[in-house]
A and B are shown apart, each in its own frame.
Chain A
Amino acid sequence: QSALTQPPSASGSPGQSVTISCTGTSSDVGRYNYVSWYQQHPGKAPKLMIYEVSKRPSGVPDRFSGSKSGNTASLTVSGLQAEDEADYYCSSYAGSNNVFGTGTKVTVL
């Protein structure tokens, strides 16, 4: 099972929006609505930001939103803040296995 494809980096100024893509196949992202997104700060464990494509866990700001079209899922961070600077990973169910994305480093300029 190959890793899902994410851009290595993304950036935006405070207050702007940034969207991260997560491209899979018809066997994972395209088939199942079990796509989640994680934020990871250096030296910390990942934090769940979005699950089942677009649902937000309690406590996650509504600045974070998720969507999916075909084999590509997306995470949008609106109103960028300094604390949003982190690595972001997508994950998808792939029919008996689970797979993570390659990761995207988000920089707040």
Chain B
Amino acid sequence: QVHLVQSGAEVKKPGASVKVSCKASGYTFTGYFIHWVRQAPGQGLEWMGWINPNNGATKYVEKFQGRVTMTRDTSISTAYMEVNNLGSDDTAFYYCARAYLPYGVNSDYWGQGTLVTVSS
């Protein structure tokens, strides 16, 4: 059975960094892309980018270039997303989701979401 289990909620101060993990199980981790999507409270979904766990290749939305880093550790089937220089508008639920392709967010399994709160 496929599962994506994310790390727990975080509270960070403005200017800090946060690293969210996403542990995969029940399938071949290197066979699917991992997309990262965020959702501010009461707002819509926002695609952030993807990582190919097979070779570590990444694609980020331009607005996050230089501030977001997606990595993976294939030995423990875990993907990570780090956001630097947090601001209050980064307060959101962050989701990881697997997809067979990077074209479109055709993600059949999602993590439970990680709430990141940025507050002074």
Contact = CB atoms under 8 A, between A and B. Distances in A.
B106 A51 contact: yes
Contacts of A102: 44
A38 B106 contact: no
Interface stretch (A16-24, A29-37, A77-85): A29-37
Contact of A46 (B101, B103, B104, B110): B110
A23 to B, nearest CB: 15
A45 B35 CA distance: 14
Contacts of A103: 44-45
Interface residue tally on A, bucketed by range: 20 to 34
Report whether over half of chain A's contact residues are helix, strand or loop; otherwise say mixed. Answer: strand
Interface in B27-75: 35, 37, 44-47, 59, 61-62
A93 B103 contact: yes
Nearest to B50: A98
A34 B61 contact: no
Contacts of A69: none
Interface string A39-62: 010000111100110000100000
> Which of B35, B44, B101, B102 has the most A CB atoms < 10 Å from its CB?
B44
A97 interface: yes
Contacts of B37: 46, 100
A1 B61 contact: yes
B104 A93 contact: yes
Interface of B: 35, 37, 44-47, 59, 61-62, 95, 97, 101-108, 110-113
Interface of A: 1, 3, 32, 34-36, 38, 40, 45-48, 51-52, 57, 89, 91-93, 96-103
17 contacts: A36-B104, A36-B105, A38-B45, A45-B97, A45-B111, A46-B97, A48-B107, A51-B106, A89-B45, A91-B45, A91-B104, A91-B105, A97-B61, A98-B104, A100-B46, A100-B105, A101-B44
